[in-house]
Amino acid sequence: MNIFRLTGDLSHLAAIIILLLKIWKSRSCAGISGKSQILFALVFTTRYLDLLTSFISLYNTSMKVIYIGCSYATVYLIYMKFRATYDGNHDSFRVEFLVVPVGGLAVLINHDFSLLEILWTFSIYLESVAILPQLFMISKTGEAETITTHYLFCLGLYRALYLFNWIWRFYFEGFFDMIAIVAGVVQTVLYCDFFYLYVTKVLKGKKLSLPA
């Protein structure tokens, strides 16, 4: 454990809490991509199957359970409890164009050709692009609520901090995971435009809206 991983985990947790509170307090999931949330639920489910086979630490286990539980709670709120507020017309990204290629890549490029390892690799690849339906939805509506932008910022910050975590681990532990690093870079790059708009607009008290 190092400071970058810890702050990355806390940023990730903050993103999840912000999203859940946003939906619950407003009684609405308007502006939230249900498809992205399904992908994140799939990410955590396939990544943390090792909960059934090994124990690393109480912290590790607790965070995994929280991520899985919150992801499915979010999906439930969007597609069941507050379904009437879900904007399915704008949440139209074809997720099969992500899941199928990512699944094929995980089978072809992994650390070990075993079921759990392939599923773990699948989750790493899928997480790097899981936010695309949300970004696509924002591009279609042309704007996003401020609280939604805070959620996205924390989510992007989490991945950026994890890149520093990998760098730290390489220099101080000799640990290097090319799959996780490349996927992390891809994910962070996808957030770059959003980070720019967040800093130049949201942090100045303006609503995030895209040029017409």
Stretch 90-112: mean pLDDT: 96
**Structural domain includes residue 207:** no
- Answer positive or negative: Cα dihedral of 66, 69, 74, 77: negative
The count of domains in the chain is 1
Mean pLDDT of the chain: 92
Residue 209 resides in a domain: no
Residue 45 lies inside a defined structural domain of this protein:
yes
Please check the confidence at residue 74 and state whether its pLDDT lies above 60: yes
Alpha-carbon distance 190 to 94, whole Å? 17
What is the Cα–Cα distance from 197 to 56, expressed in whole angstroms?
39
In a domain, 170, yes or no: yes
pLDDT band at 90 (very low <50, low <70, confident <90, very high): very high
**Residue span of the structural domain in which 173 resides:** 3-201
| Per-residue pLDDT band at 204 (split at 50, 70, 90) | confident
pLDDT score, position 205: 80
Query: Which pLDDT belongs to residue 194?
Result: 86
In sequence order, the β-bridge partners of residue 144 are 208
Q: Is the pLDDT confidence value at 118 over 70?
A: yes
Predicted structure pTM score:
0.93
Distance CA 25, CA 65 (A): 23
pLDDT tens profile 158-173: 989 998 999 999 999 9
Interval 24-60: pLDDT, tens? 999 999 999 999 999 999 999 999 999 999 999 999 9
Q: Tens digits of per-residue pLDDT, 124-153?
A: 999 999 999 999 999 888 888 888 999 999
Report if residue 177 sits inside a domain: yes
In the prediction, which pLDDT does 211 show? 57
What single string gives the DSSP state of each residue in the chain? --HHHHHHHHHHHHHHHHHHHHHHHHT--TT--HHHHHHHHHHHHHH-GGGGT----HHHHHHHHHHHHHHHHHHHIIIIITGGG--TTT----THHHHHHHHHHHHHS-SSSSHHHHHHHHHHHHHHHTTHHHHHHHHHHSEE-HHHHHHHHHHHHHHHHHHHHHHHHHHHH----HHHHHHHHHHHHHHHHHHHHHHHTGGGT--EE---
The answer to whether residue 182 scores a pLDDT higher than 70 is yes
Q: What is the pLDDT of residues 183-198, one digit of tens each?
A: 989 998 888 888 888 8
Structural domain contains residue 173: yes
| Least confident span in 64-68, 121-125, 187-191 | 187-191
Instruction: Please report whether residue 121 resides in a domain.
Output: yes
Q: Is residue 212 part of a domain?
A: no
